[in-house]
């Protein structure tokens, strides 16, 4: 099973992509929910025990893919366990619009949170970009983002050979 991390700043469309992939029948886990985090000195980090167990549940010997969504400072500890690290990105003006108008998550509606989120474009996103195996700018529709990601992360099937007698 291919293990794929979907990462990026708030508002880039990580959760929307996971919903699209799940609708297509892929296994997805949004680590923002389900007890995958702990707070240490005010910072939200992945719980190593939970992330290890999640990744162990997707052995390479099984077919298919596991798409894991998350962005935390300690995610780099798990990079060797992923086959692909997909960075979703979007221009600041797109993120600002998405964060201030979305209805599924309140983060970014407060001006201080919005400033923090946009600041991460300069401080966090470049580090994510360095380790990404693919970057997708999410200014295209979500189904197209899913098509791009799937084309990159899933192994291509060999073309069928035909022989003539």
Residue 164 lies in a domain: no
Residue 28 lies in a domain: yes
Q: Are residues 137 and 89 in contact, defined by beta-carbon separation less than 8 angstroms? A: yes
Confidence (pTM): 0.90
Could you report the per-residue pLDDT of 43-75, keeping only the tens digit for each? 999 999 999 999 999 998 898 999 999 999 999
Q: What is the mean pLDDT of residues 129-155?
A: 95
Q: What is the mean pLDDT of residues 142-154?
A: 96
Residue 159 lies in a domain: no
List alpha helices for 24-141, DSSP H.
Answer: 48-56, 92-101, 111-123, 125-131
Residue 14 lies in a domain: yes
Could you report the per-residue pLDDT of 79-130, keeping only the tens digit for each? 999 999 999 999 999 999 999 998 888 888 888 889 989 999 999 999 999 9
Residue 100 lies in a domain: yes
Domain count, the chain: 1
Burial class (CB in 10 A: 0-12, 13-18, 19+), 70: buried
CA distance 16 to 146: 10
Residue 162 lies in a domain: no
Query: The CATH number of the domain where 99 resides is what?
Result: 3.40.50.300
- Domain holding 100, by residue range, is 2-153
Query: Where residue 160 falls among pLDDT bands split at 50, 70, 90?
Result: low
CB within 8 Å of 163: residues ≥ 6 apart:
none
């Amino acid at each position: 099973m291919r293990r794929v991390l979907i990462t990026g700043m708030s508002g880039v469309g990580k959760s929307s992509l996971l919903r699209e992939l799940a609708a297509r029948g892929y296994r997805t886990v949004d680590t923002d929910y389900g007890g995958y985090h702990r707070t240490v000195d005010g910072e939200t980090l992945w719980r190593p025990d939970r992330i290890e167990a999640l990744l162990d549940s997707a052995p390479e010997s099984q077919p298919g893919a596991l798409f894991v969504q998350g962005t935390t400072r300690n995610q780099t500890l798990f990079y060797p366990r992923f086959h692909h690290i997909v960075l979703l990105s979007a221009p600041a003006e797109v993120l600002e619009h998405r964060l201030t108008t979305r209805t599924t998550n309140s983060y970014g509606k407060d001006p201080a949170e919005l400033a923090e989120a946009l600041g991460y474009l300069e401080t966090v996103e470049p580090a994510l970009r360095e380790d990404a195996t693919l970057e997708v700018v999410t200014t295209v529709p979500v189904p197209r983002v899913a098509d791009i990601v799937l084309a990159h992360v899933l192994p291509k099937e060999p073309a069928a050979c035909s022989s003539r007698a």
